[in-house]
Structure 1
Amino acid sequence: MDASSLITPELIRQRRADNPKMRDRDLADALGVSEAALVAAHVGQSGPRRAWRIDPDPDRTMPAAEGFGDVMALTRNLSAVHEKVGRYGDYHPGKHAAMVLSEAIDLRIFPGHWRHGFLVETETEGGMRRSMQIFDGAGDAVHKIFLRDGSDLSAWQAAKSGLLIADQSEQIETEPRVALDGARRNPDKLDILRAEWRKMTDTHQFQRLVSKLKMNRLGAYRDAGAPFVRALAPEAVDTMLHAVRDAGIEIMVFVGNCGCIQIHTGRIDTLRPMGPWQNVMDPGFNLHLRRDHIAEVWAVEKPTQRGPAVSVEAFDADGQLILQAFGVGKDGRDSRVEWGRIVEALQGAQTETPA
């Protein structure tokens, strides 16, 4: 019998009550259950934490979120947490990929991974905390929306009635996590990779290229070599954040998981390291980055119709993408030249690229 099957909803609620300030992800890991199971245990309850199961389809949840007004959007992976304050809007549906393109909240959504949804109310010392939470098939968080002071509570109440599904049980069926896919390389296709790389006119063509060649992003970087990529030292990400802050330029910071990518476009003004974490703590944007999880960093250049797109991309020891950063080059705010100088000055890797 799976040990997690012995963890009942009652036990989960007791552990939650015993550890009211513990992050859901940490508590779920400590109990050996999914984070979605932790939330589901509070469905139908009347205590300090309450949850309702909702239809997770972004075609329904994103229009509902537009009514909330000012909120905090959160997307994370195991090594980075990306938080943006703003309003949802300009939703573009799509069967395989959807987008939110409002002024502050910029999302790329992959609906196939939006499998479980909840509305959650938690009584805290600072008052009621309300959130919409979406999880993938394994019960891992895909995207969360937290209401703020001034959010529209009538829209929240409408979501509580309009998005609910028939199944309001306190237990949830999840699937095993998909095995991690590290660097997938194909040296026999290296000449094709380099030739097709040179022909790109848009960065979005890259994923299709490497998939066609039976590679993935990290595998292609390890194979491609100069002038396409340069391996950087793991500490280069931290150096880059400081350099961007000091230069006062705007960049784009991407953090994502299987179901959602969240993007910040703007300056980085306040860095506050704490232990292994580096934290961007700006009024509309927070980034929490585990520097000790960074195993590989690559400076990458891809051709586009508007000139080269230069990025800094960090991966963990399992080959999973942690974050990407690009220079901003749109609407007359072209900081790509200064960004290129910053990237060029970053320290190269001191160890050989893994085989």
Structure 2
Amino acid sequence: MSRHSPEDLRRLLTQDSGRPYDLAERLGVPEAALVAARVGHGTLRIDPLPGRLIPCVQALGEVMALTRNRSCVIEKIGTYNDFHDGEHAAMTLDPEIDLRIFPRHWTHAFAVEQETGTGTRRSIQIFDTAGDAVHKIHLRETSDLTAWDTLRRDLALADQSDSADFHPRAPVEPPKPNPERADALRQEWAQMTDTHQFNILIRRLKMNRLGAYRIAGGPLVRPLTPEAVPTLLERIHADGVGVMFFVGNMGCIEIHSGTIHSLKPMGPWLNVMDPRFNLHLRVDHVAEVWAVDKPTKRGPAISVEAFDAEGALIFQCFGLRPEKGGDAEAWAAVVAELPALARAAE
């Protein structure tokens, strides 16, 4: 139970001009508690079920989609087209708003209206059972406000309380190798024909992603230095290499497909500030980086993947597929030249 009442949180919100995420960290409360405190004060509880929510979001037209984890934020401008619902996984496949959605983590959702000095800001904010943000949708000047009113009317919940019960955040699973199955891992890895087979493989061998990387060895994986991450983004930017950049959390993964046109470091943050794509990465959170090579029917799927000190995945970056305009050879050359860690895989 939070020591802060909804009234306290509303007062603190009016006194703080920073990000609610940072205020929640300072107060030791879930971010969703700050949003819930405004229910009845411009904020409405709505149905979080993606199968109901996303079609209403599509009707809004152009919006900004935001997904984050503790170390990276991705923002894309576009429309939620080509939605495919599913009980365990759903997705939007628009060229700009490209999402993988895991509905069981979409627990709390709010339609937020906030008055500012520049006008009314409108957003939809979705949180998991711990009150951590899963996905946010920010309306833009061109968004359809009639569709916004319809969304609020059709998705409003009967429960409009200004507080909620949140469960403790699940700890990050530490690296889980299984050295006794290392040979089986390497053998079956080399026989893969699709990247989606990887998760099935490591689950069957009782490992997780980072644990498998630590014991697979070359040529399947290559450990890189943390400095490889800014080097990677600098090369992508300078050479105009098309990539697929995945950023996510347990409930949502958001993907940018294309090039990077700007790169601006600011303190510990490395920022992409393109007109319809922003990325904000805490480079100082990067503790472990791997270059990964998975075989597929269409050729090698080469990725660079970064993890924090607890073993949480920060991002994955793949080369853009040739049929999407990518250059497999250019991407492979970029990855091959990234600085390797001066040790063998464990």
**TM-score when normalising by structure 2:** 0.98
Residue 77 of structure 1 corresponds to 69
CA distance in 1, matches of 2:278, 2:145: 24
State the alpha-carbon separation in 1 of the partners of residues 306 and 177 from structure 2: 18
2:39 to 38, 43, 57: 43
Residue aligning to 2:104: 112
The residue that corresponds to 1:33 in the other structure is: 29
What do the CA deviations read for 1:220-274 (whole angstroms, capped 9, x no partner)? 0001010100000001011011101111121000000000000000010100100
- In structure 1, the partner of 2:227 is 235
| Aligned residues of 2:241 and 2:259 also touching (Cα < 8 A) | yes
Is residue 311 of structure 1 aligned with residue 286 of structure 2? no
Deviations 1:286-333 (A, max 9, x none): 000000000000000000010000000000000000001000114251
Match of 2:7 in 1: 10
- Displacement of 1:179 in angstroms is 1.8
SS at match of 1:222: helix
Using the alignment, how far apart are the partners of 2:149 and 2:256 within structure 1?
A: 29
Aligned to 1:208: 200
Q: Residue type matched to 1:333 in 2? A: G
After superposition, the Cα gap between the structure-2 partners of 1:176 and 1:348, relative to the gap in structure 1 and judged at 3 Å, is same
* 1:220 counterpart residue number: 212
- Residue 165 of structure 2 is matched in structure 1 by 173
Q: Corresponding residue for 1:130?
A: 122
Q: For 2:36, give the aligned amino acid.
A: A
Give the whole-Å Cα distance in 2 for the aligned partners of 1:72 and 1:179.
29
Secondary structure of 1:238's match?
Answer: helix
Query: Which residue type is aligned with residue 12 of structure 2?
Result: R
Q: Would the aligned equivalents of 2:95 and 2:257 in 1 still touch at CA under 8 Å?
A: no
Identify the match of residue 67 of structure 1 among 56, 59, 70: 59
Counterparts of 2:324 and 2:28 in 1: how far apart (Å)? 50
Q: CA deviation at 1:189?
A: 0.6
- For the structure 1 residues 352 and 16, does the alpha-carbon distance in structure 2 shift closer, same or farther, using more than 3 Å as the test? farther
Give RMSD over aligned pairs: 1.1
2:176 matched residue in structure 1 = 184
Return the letter of the residue paired with 1:217: R
2:290 aligned residue (294, 298, 301): 298
> Equivalent residue for 1:323?
315
1:33 is displaced (CA, Å) by 0.8
Query: Matched residues in 1 for 2:305 and 2:135: separation?
Result: 21
**Matched letter for residue 144 of structure 2:** D
SS in 2 for 1:5: coil
The structural deviation recorded for 1:103 is 2.1
Question: Mean Cα displacement is larger for which, 305-314 or 172-181?
Answer: 172-181
State, as a whole percentage, how many aligned pairs show the same letter: 55
Specify every segment of 5 or more residues in structure 1 that has no aligned partner in the other structure, as ranges: none
Q: Which residue of 2 aligns with 1:160?
A: 152
Which residue in 2 is equivalent to 1:246? 238
Q: CA deviation at 1:107?
A: 0.3
Q: Is the 8 A contact 2:241 2:326 kept in 1?
A: no
Q: Give the match's secondary structure for 1:129.
A: strand
Once residues 351 and 28 of structure 1 are traced to their aligned partners in structure 2, the CA distance between those partners, rounded to angstroms, is: 39
Quote the offset at 1:160 in angstroms: 0.7
- Unpaired segments of 5 or more residues in structure 2? none
Aligned partner of residue 241 in structure 1, secondary structure: helix
Matches of 1:29 and 1:237, distance apart in 2:
26
Q: Is the 2:65–2:97 contact (alpha carbons within 8 Å) kept by the matching residues of 1?
A: yes
Letter in 1 for 2:253: I
Count of aligned positions: 346
Tell me the secondary structure at the aligned position of residue 33 of structure 1. Answer: coil
**For residue 15 of structure 1, what is the amino acid of its counterpart?**
L
Structure 1 segments of 4+ aligned residues over 2 angstroms from their partners = 350-353
Matched residues in 1 for 2:235 and 2:163: separation?
Answer: 47
Pair 1:24 & 2:20 matched:
yes
In 1, are the aligned partners of 2:293 and 2:303 still within 8 Å (CA)? yes
